[in-house]
Amino acid sequence: MEGGRLVVAVDGPAGSGKSSVSREAALRLGMRYIDSGAIYRAITHYLLGRFGSLEKGKSYAEFLDGLKIDQRFEPDGSVRTSVNGLDVSRAIRDEAIARGIGAVSDDPSVRNFVNELLRSWSARESLIMDGRDIGTVVFPDATVKIYLDASVEVRSIRRVAEYREMGKTVDVNEIRNQIIRRDQEDTARPFGRLQKAEGSFYIDTSSMEKDEVIERMIGLIAKADGPRVRDGRPE
C-alpha cells in the first residue's frame, strides 16, 4: 500500500477479459477502475481524425502538447473517456481504432505521456488499472499485480461476442487474425511490451466463468495469495 492507497495492476493480452473483470471487481470493492487501453484508443482516435492514417515509427510527441484526456468511472460501472472535452467512449471501440493503434502504442513519446497521466490519477484514490505494462512499467510497486491470460481461440470468441453486443457484425476469422497480430505487436514493441510482471498472480481464464475470475481477483486483492510469476513464467 502506498500511503493507504491500494494500486492493483492487471495486465494481459487482447480479449483476456481484463477490462470487464477489473471493472466489476472495482465496483464490488468500491475502488476506481482505469482502462489504460482506452487512453491509447482515444489518442489513436484523435490522431486518426487529424491525419487520416498513421505511420509506424513516426513520433507523435508534438501533437500531444496540450491534449486533454479524461476518464471517469461511473457508479453504474461504465467508463467515459474524453478527448479535449469530447466524449469518445463509443467511437474508440471501432475496429478502425484497433487497426491503427499499433503505430500509436509503439511510440515511446505517447507511452510516456500516457504513463504520466495514469500515475497522476493514482495520487488520490485506490484503483484497479488494466493494460499491458501496468505492473511492469507504470506501477512496478503496485500492491497486487495480476496477469490474465486465455487461449487465442477463447479470446477470439469473447471479442466477437463483445462486438455483437455492440450491435456490430464481425468475421470470426478476421478477429482471430487481428488478435494474433496484436499479440505480436504487444509482445514485440521495444517499450512497454506485454510481459508477466515479476511477482504477478497468473490466472488462465480460458475455462473460467467471468464471475469466477472476479471472485479470484477479489480474493487475491483481499489476501495476496496464489501462484506467482517467477522468471517470466507462472509457477
Q: Which stretch binds ligand CDP (CB under 6 A): 71-79, 179-187, 195-203, 216-224?
A: 179-187
Set of cell numbers at residue 38: 482506452
Q: Which stretch binds ligand CDP (CB under 6 A): 38-46, 140-148, 204-212, 222-230?
A: 38-46
| Residue closer to ligand CDP, measured from CB, 36 or 126 | 36
Q: Which residue is nearest to ligand CDP (CB)?
A: 37
Q: Does 156 bind ligand CDP (CB under 6 A)?
A: no
Measured in whole angstroms, how far is the alpha carbon of residue 99 from the centre of its chain?
Answer: 16
Q: Does 133 bind ligand CDP (CB under 6 A)?
A: yes
Q: Does 36 bind ligand CDP (CB under 6 A)?
A: yes
| Residue closer to ligand CDP, measured from CB, 15 or 160 | 15
Site for ligand CDP in 73-102 (CB under 6 A): 101
Q: Does 33 bind ligand CDP (CB under 6 A)?
A: no
Question: HSE of 111 in the Cβ direction (CA atoms, 13 Å)?
Answer: 18
**Given 37, 107, 113, 128, the residue binding ligand CDP (CB under 6 A):** 37
Q: CA 147 to CA 132: how far, in whole Å?
A: 9
**Given 132, 145, 176, 196, the residue binding ligand CDP (CB under 6 A):** 132
Q: Does 41 bind ligand CDP (CB under 6 A)?
A: yes
Q: Does 154 bind ligand CDP (CB under 6 A)?
A: no
Of 163, 208, 155, give the one whose Cα is nearest residue 14.
Answer: 155
Give me the residues that bind ligand CDP (CB under 6 A), please: 14-15, 19, 36-38, 40-41, 101, 105, 131-134, 182, 185-186, 192
